[in-house]
């Protein structure tokens, strides 16, 4: 028997994802005794948390300064300064610790549960919801919501059941039903487009180099037909279809809208040297010609971190025999190699598969909510949180962080 709820329910949260759970738990903890109901359309709440981070769940990122943090959100940016001054990664770490889940930081700043299992995060959220008295209904999809003139909402579920609630949180992620619900309550929609994907490139130089990683590289992307340019620096992975890796995912997150506009076509310029200046490379080549004169080009790379397979491919692409000795490298091929190391131009011919995280850019414009409380500026009593909003972060735990932050702010405002 599902628990009896009063009518109207104090709060209905549509969407049992991370943002919806944080909103529901925080509201119930802030106002003990209030009735909080989470409606989840599928049989499995928190499904994305379970499959996130390759089954490990990258909960947040060790980025403690709000000003630095907002730089990781291609959509949202500075408008998130306010929300993050209320609930940032440090608060998320403490929130989970207080509820028995310890997060551990990796070298690159990503934070995972100590168990290394996303199921621990799911268990923690479900336990906290249960303890706070939140009622969860699965297989319950919110179909329509009507704001009543006297305040509160009339809600209709799939199957026809009707519910009344004083407040409503929409936490439906990127699902079209949430976009429809928000639209019916007066909100606009920034067209959703994919973010955080890899790039498909025209074969050429990279054919046969799948599996090679180079760190760091500097990337510059210019989508076809547009004047915009996007730059990133970091690790790159060559794949069977093109390029992937953190630098590429960051690049496509920031370029998501422009790439969509250009039909996912453009030019990618790669600096394999990671930003070494030309005089530095001239000096490096001169030293190798002196000190490694008798060694073959293929066996003595300009610097140890340069992938051997990549170096040989660059030599071959410039028509330089990899068996040639350093002493025999002429001026012209040296110039060509330095140019190729600093600036290889490749044609982007499409969008590759997604990385480990899949997120959508687009949703309800952030300007339509009060970012101190996440309450709608258009419909009082309505709150919008998580990926439903036009906010998305780069890979590394930033997307969940926005869910914790927006969910917590809404829950606290409602509970208070």
Which residues contact ligand FAD by CB under 6 A? 14-20, 39-42, 45, 47-48, 51-53, 57-58, 141-142, 171-173, 175, 177-178, 356-359, 386-388, 397-400, 403
Say whether 50 sits in a helix, a strand or coil: helix
Q: How far is the CB of 171 from ligand FAD (least distance, A)?
A: 5
Task: Measure the CA–CA gap between 263 and 278, rounded to whole angstroms.
Answer: 34
DSSP state, residue 106 = -
- Structure tokens belonging to residue 328: 């025999």
CB of 354 to ligand FAD, least distance (A): 8
- Cα distances (angstroms) measured from residue 44 to each of 15, 48, 122, 170, 261: 11, 10, 11, 18, 35
Q: Are 245 and 236 in contact (CB under 8 A)?
A: yes
What is the DSSP code string of 322-349?
TTSBGGG--HHHHHHHHHHHH-EEEEEE
* Cα distance between residue 372 and residue 394, in whole Å: 23
> Which of 76, 302 has the CB closer to ligand FAD?
76
Minimum CB separation of residue 238 from ligand FAD in Å reads: 22
Q: Measured from the CB atom, is 307 or 401 closer to ligand FAD?
A: 401
- The burial class, CB within 10 Å (0-12 / 13-18 / 19+), for 277 is exposed
Closest by CA position to 142, among listed 155, 152, 154:
155
Q: How far is the CB of 160 from ligand FAD (least distance, A)?
A: 15
Smallest distance, Å, CB 315 to ligand FAD? 39
- Among residues 112 and 272, whose Cβ is nearest to ligand FAD? 112
- Minimum CB separation of residue 109 from ligand FAD in Å reads 13
Q: Which residues have a Cβ under 8 Å from the Cβ of 159 and sit 6 or more positions away?
A: none
**By Cβ distance, which residue is nearest to ligand FAD?**
17
Cα within 13 Å of Cα(284), Cβ side: 17
CA-to-CA distance for 252 and 64, rounded, in angstroms?
A: 24
**What are φ and ψ of residue 51, in 5° steps?**
-90, 0
Long-range contacts made by residues 151-157, C-beta under 8 angstroms, separation at least 24? 151/380, 151/381, 152/8, 152/381, 153/12, 153/381, 153/382, 155/12, 157/39
Q: Which is nearer to ligand FAD, 24 or 201 (CB)?
A: 24
CB-based burial label for 164 (10 Å; 0-12, 13-18, 19+):
middle
Min dist. Cβ of residue 38 to ligand FAD (A): 9
For the chain, how big is the Rg over CA atoms in Å?
26
Least separation in angstroms between residue 372's CB and ligand FAD is 19
Beta carbon of residue 270, minimum distance to ligand FAD (angstroms, whole number): 26
For Cα atoms 122, 126, 129, give the angle at the middle one, nearest 5 degrees.
145
Which of residues 110 and 342 has its CB atom nearest to ligand FAD in the complex? Answer: 110
How far apart are CB 255 and ligand FAD at their closest, in Å? 19
């Amino acid at each position: 028997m599902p628990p009896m709820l009063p009518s109207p329910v104090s709060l209905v949260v549509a969407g049992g994802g991370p943002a919806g759970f944080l909103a529901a738990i925080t509201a119930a903890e802030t106002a003990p005794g209030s009735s909080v109901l989470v409606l989840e359309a599928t049989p499995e709440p928190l499904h994305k948390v379970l499959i996130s981070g390759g089954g490990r769940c990258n909960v947040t990122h060790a980025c403690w300064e709000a000003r630095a943090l907002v730089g990781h959100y291609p959509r949202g940016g500075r408008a998130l300064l306010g929300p993050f001054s209320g609930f940032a990664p440090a608060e998320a770490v403490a929130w989970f610790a207080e509820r028995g889940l310890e997060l551990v930081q990796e070298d690159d700043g990503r934070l995972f549960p100590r168990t290394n299992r996303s199921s621990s995060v799911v268990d923690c959220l479900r336990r906290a919801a249960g303890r706070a008295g939140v009622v969860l209904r699965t297989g319950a999809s919110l179909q329509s919501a009507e704001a009543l003139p006297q305040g509160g909402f009339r809600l209709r579920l799939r199957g026809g059941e009707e519910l009344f609630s004083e407040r409503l949180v929409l936490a439906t992620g990127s699902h079209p039903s949430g976009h429809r619900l928000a639209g019916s309550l007066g909100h606009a929609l920034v067209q959703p487009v994919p973010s955080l994907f890899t790039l498909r490139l025209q074969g050429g130089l990279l054919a046969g180099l799948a599996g090679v990683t180079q760190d760091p590289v500097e990337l510059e992307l210019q989508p076809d037909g547009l004047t915009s340019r996007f730059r990133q620096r970091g690790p790159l992975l060559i794949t069977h279809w093109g390029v992937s890796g953190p630098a590429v995912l960051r690049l496509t997150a920031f370029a998501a809208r422009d790439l969509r506009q250009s039909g996912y076509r453009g030019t990618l310029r790669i600096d394999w040297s990671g930003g070494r200046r030309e005089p530095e490379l001239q000096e490096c080549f001169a030293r190798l010609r002196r000190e490694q004169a008798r060694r073959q080009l293929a066996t003595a790379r300009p610097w140890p971190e340069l992938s051997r397979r990549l170096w040989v491919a660059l030599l071959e692409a410039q028509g330089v025999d990899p068996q040639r000795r350093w002493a025999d490298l002429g001026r012209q091929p040296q110039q060509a190699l330095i140019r190729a190391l600093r600036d290889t131009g490749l044609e982007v011919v499409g969008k590759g598969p997604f990385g480990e995280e899949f997120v959508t850019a687009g949703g309800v414009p952030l300007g339509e909510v009060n970012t101190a409380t996440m309450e709608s500026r258009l419909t009082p009593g309505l709150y919008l949180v998580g990926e439903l909003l036009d906010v998305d972060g780069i890979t590394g735990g930033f997307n969940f962080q926005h869910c914790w932050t927006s969910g917590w702010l809404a829950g606290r405002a409602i509970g208070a």
